[in-house]
Structure 1
């Protein structure tokens, strides 16, 4: 842990904004919203632009030019605008690209704390793990039209999201949550739109990683965590060996939610 000695900050905010990752519906936060609301928090989980519909309807509309046009900078600003309308600075909880956006918004001073769950990497953070490239090559969509959205096949979903789960659970998760995605928003992770100043003071930040995540390997999340260098900022890391990229919906999801809640209470 890169945690300062004088870490008690006494958070007073009771608002949580859940930031959804790529390829999944915002409904992936449904159980998480109930969990944190039962602990006394107000929560919101906004859908991405052009995705305010069920996963089934969004898949039927694929390919979707509007979804395909989404860029990371615009998406980050979209969440920033939502946050700025709130009565208090929230706690941000983001998954995958949502974890990256959480890091960027913390840089802007828009949150009291942030939790990056299996986060996409900021610009300049790399991994050589094969599973990362195998899971991500199709969604990047190189040599294909960026004007068409990308929809993971069920086979890709099994490898990138739900590896290690029972077949029926994988199928149910795909039907309920898998959505088309912008290739451009994924590619933007290697551009300045994903830049983070790792030496800048920031609000408390927790990284959660999964030992079974093929898409965002724990080693990548750990490298991201280690990049942060401000000694007076709280930056913590926790790895769960049983977690794949579908961590929000795995049977053990509540274990991760409880860890986050307890971490928030220590601030």
Structure 2
């Protein structure tokens, strides 16, 4: 009897549509996984539709999104691997900490509770949302220039603009406010069970020139996991920015993540 392939759930972050994961999903399938890349709650099926209905995602917070993906996981035949980028990386860590995933890869993950670093570049990247308190209940779209600073700063202008046109959608402002003020809230939605000793392996990946989630933020999260004997590792791509999951160099990052999972015994076909 042939074992079923391990499910793999991709979770995107703010301002990117779920279809941005398609090249990763195709590669994961080649590695023997059963990949899915669901959108956030309220997210339309295509980039064009999501741009026409920005209010459908307004007001959604970290817990709303986490519960949404927990429900998707609950409908699977087996606990999945989860791979998340940006706020998707934060949510991947929450799901792993709750014991809902067998392993996780968090790429440029949004700031979790307990990380105190707040670099100027991160503040500037978040200003389009955090600069107006009313954005907590709204959805917000980036301009091409804002995307260039926050995502495409390590790219040529033409590539950054092309990625902006192909993948970006309006996203809820609430998660940014929750992460920004996490250390002032006892029950912050950005809290992760970093001390869980029974969880599966976790890989944190950072881009060395990332403006939206600077490397120091990812390293700060990595240090918080020192409380747990569970496997936690950090991989840094020194010359990469926040676009590292979807720009011309995406395959290098994806291959590293999938090979790391193989080394940790998280195979596409359980029991093989």
TM-score higher than 0.5 here? yes
Check if 1:74 corresponds to 2:64.
yes
Provide the residue aligned with 1:262 in structure 2: 259
Matches within 5 A, 1:156-167: 156-167=146-157
Residue 225 (structure 1) shift: 0.6
Deviates more, 1:241-250 or 1:186-195: 186-195
Aligned ranges 1:1-267 → 2 under 5 Å? 14-62=6-54, 64=55, 66-189=56-179, 190=182, 191=185, 192-201=188-197, 202-267=199-264
The TM-score normalised by the length of structure 2 is 0.89
| Structure 1 moving runs of 4+ over 6 Å | none
2-structure distance, mates of 1:126, 1:145? 23
Q: In structure 2, how many angstroms separate the alpha carbons of the residues matched to 1:250 and 1:217?
A: 18
C-alpha separation in 2, matches of 1:46 and 1:61: 17
Q: Give the superposition deviation at 1:53.
A: 2.9
* SS of equivalent residue, structure 1 residue 168: helix
| 1:147-166: CA deviation from partner (whole Å, max 9, x where unpaired) | 43111111100000111212
Measure how far apart 1:39 and its partner are.
1.2
- Shift in Å, 1:176: 1.1
Question: Normalized against structure 1, the TM-score is what?
Answer: 0.90
**Contact 1:141-1:150 at 8 Å conserved across structures:** no
Aligned length: 254
Unaligned runs of 5+ in 1: 1-11
Task: State the 1:243 CA deviation.
Answer: 1.4
Unaligned stretches of 5+ residues in structure 2 = 265-272
> For residues 126-165 of structure 1, what are the alpha-carbon distances to aligned partners after superposition, in whole Å with 9 as ceiling and x for unaligned?
2131101000121235333544311111110000011121
* Residues in 2 aligned to 1:198 and 1:213: alpha-carbon distance in whole angstroms: 23
Cα distance in 2, alignment partners of residues 35 and 263 from structure 1: 14
SS of aligned partner of 1:208: strand
Distance in 2 between the 1:170 and 1:140 partners? 23
1:231 Cα shift?
4.9
The alpha carbon displacement at 1:196 in A equals 1.7
